Chain A
Amino acid sequence: MDAFIDLEDPSDWPRGFEHLRELEKLLRCPVCKEYLETPMVVSGCGHTFCSLCVRRCIAQETKCPSCRAQTAEGDLYPNRLIESIMREFRNGRLQLLSAIHAAAKSDSLNNPRKKQRVSQGSLQKDAQSVASTLSADTACSGSNNESANSGVVDLSSSDIEKIADTAMAEEDNDSDSDFVANAQRKRPRENLTTCTSEKIAKDEETSSNSVSCPNCRTNIRSNRINWHLDRCLAGLPCENTPAAVVSVSSTKSQPTAAKLQLLPPRAAQFALPRPTKLAYSLLSESKLRRTLRELGIPSKGDKHQMQMRHTEWVNIFMANADSETPVSHRVLLRRLSAWEDALSRQSETVKAVALSTPEDIAQHASKYADSFAELVAQAGSSRSRPSFK
């Protein structure tokens, strides 16, 4: 429930900040409406989506989700600039929103008449000054954070809460979902130091100037990569050589216990084969099952289930490969099983709605007995008539 209240949205931007609202809209994927994750641009029409979203759409129908132009997976190219712009925007978002709200508050307090015409220019000037003081003061304190979120939603209505509760129950526990990230914002101070494993991995990578070995995917300091590659390709042990592996303590930021724990120690050794798209109609069930087993993903269920699982796996895998900061294949496997859990829960709820109890059916039948009789009579009379054509 908390996560739902904290849902970030372009409509958080107050009146007078339409440009920022538009900017945020542009930095969100048109399909999932979340921030673009590994943005991919469709060559030809130039529309941009999350890698996973556009891959899912194309798996369903080979068309651009925006303009329906013919599109294949080969037409997708990563758009790194947008990714960086979005990252910076997200980093500054809360800060700017807090500043705007603080400025608007002080503005109305100092000069009540001015409240009527809170112009963009004056607010932005105030925002800048407040932003500078804010950044000095641990970016955002609890009260500022709340004021930023106070404008977000009025969720007092109970019906929406009810829906959110049931929906959230259906939601999977994917550790890096936006909702979790948003829920963490409740504790702003902690949020500044603890974040998702992916982000940490990224921080590690950028701050310590390391590169990923193309062979074993271990993070290696760039000046050691040649030495490592020679040994790695020759099949010599090189994983745990202290000098080769990036030492966590060498990072600029303070190393925390959480960081050390979150780094998967054996992730590098665990690599699954790259899946390819399959023509399912040409494969027998047993052959598909064998393929799934070879790919290292669950091979249970009937052909349809395996087919769905394989399609999703290809999408997840390829989207991860597109990413600047790919996660380990173990994490991908967890996401696949979370996706499947959510899917089965969803179909269960649909079934539960469709199959009512016998009492319900009896009640319904008695309630509409007259209407049914009428309909039967109508059907009888229309049958005796010649066809209306």
Chain B
Amino acid sequence: MASTLRTKRLLRELLLIKKSTCKNVTLESADTIDKWIVKLRGVEGTMYADEEYSLLFEFPAEYPLESPIVTFTGTTPIHPHIYSNGHICLSILYMHWCPVLTVDAICQSILSMLSGCEKKVRPERDDVYVKTAKPSPKDTIWIFDGK
């Protein structure tokens, strides 16, 4: 929809993530404006300390009115809310997305989700989900517990 809004905002966010001094979130590559790979580094003192994972961001034409598609690529962290195909069960990526959220906000949410983990396990019925899931996690109907 608002393509100039999208381009301007993505450029600004790209700039911010490049300039960011946060050690846990770094830009790995952004060959085009609509597809970025961001490297996440587990927070010190948590179960994922010093582990590195790559997050793939794909921005739809309607971004930021619509949420980006966010998945882990390569090795996926073992976490009760992260499926082995990289899909993440996080409400702000789907039905609780709001346009004021940014790439950085998403990264911080995922980091805090990792940090709050008490036991490294895959989600229940991970194999079933991985076999039946559509390529985009946005096509999955998620049921969020809590809150």
Contact = CB atoms under 8 A, between A and B. Distances in A.
B9 to A, nearest CB: 6
A278 interface: no
Given A159-B30, A160-B18, A65 B61 contact: no
Nearest to A338: B4
Interface in A24-78: 30-34, 53, 56-57, 60-61, 63-68
Interface of A: 4, 7, 9, 11, 30-34, 53, 56-57, 60-61, 63-68, 153, 157, 159-160, 163-164, 166-167, 170-172, 174, 177-179, 308, 312, 338-339, 342-343, 345-347, 350, 353, 388-389
Contact of A177 (B2, B4, B29, B34): B4
A56 to B, nearest CB: 6
Interface string B92-108: 00001011101000000
B65 A9 contact: no
B32 A163 contact: yes
| Most B C-beta atoms less than 10 A away, residue of A164, A167, A338 | A167
B121 interface: no
Contact of B98 (A68, A163, A171, A389): A68
B22 interface: no
B18 A11 contact: no
B14 A30 contact: no
Contact of A171 (B4, B31, B99): B4
B128 interface: yes
Given A60-B62, A342-B3, A343-B3, A32 B32 contact: no
Given A7-B12, A167-B7, A179-B8, A57 B1 contact: no
B133 interface: no
B33 interface: yes
Given A66-B100, A347-B61, A166 B5 contact: no
Interface string B12-49: 11111011000000000111111000000000000000
B64 interface: yes
A65 B3 contact: no
22 contacts: A9-B12, A30-B100, A31-B64, A31-B99, A53-B5, A57-B99, A60-B1, A60-B66, A63-B98, A157-B18, A163-B14, A163-B30, A164-B11, A167-B7, A167-B11, A170-B7, A172-B4, A178-B8, A346-B3, A347-B61, A350-B61, A388-B127
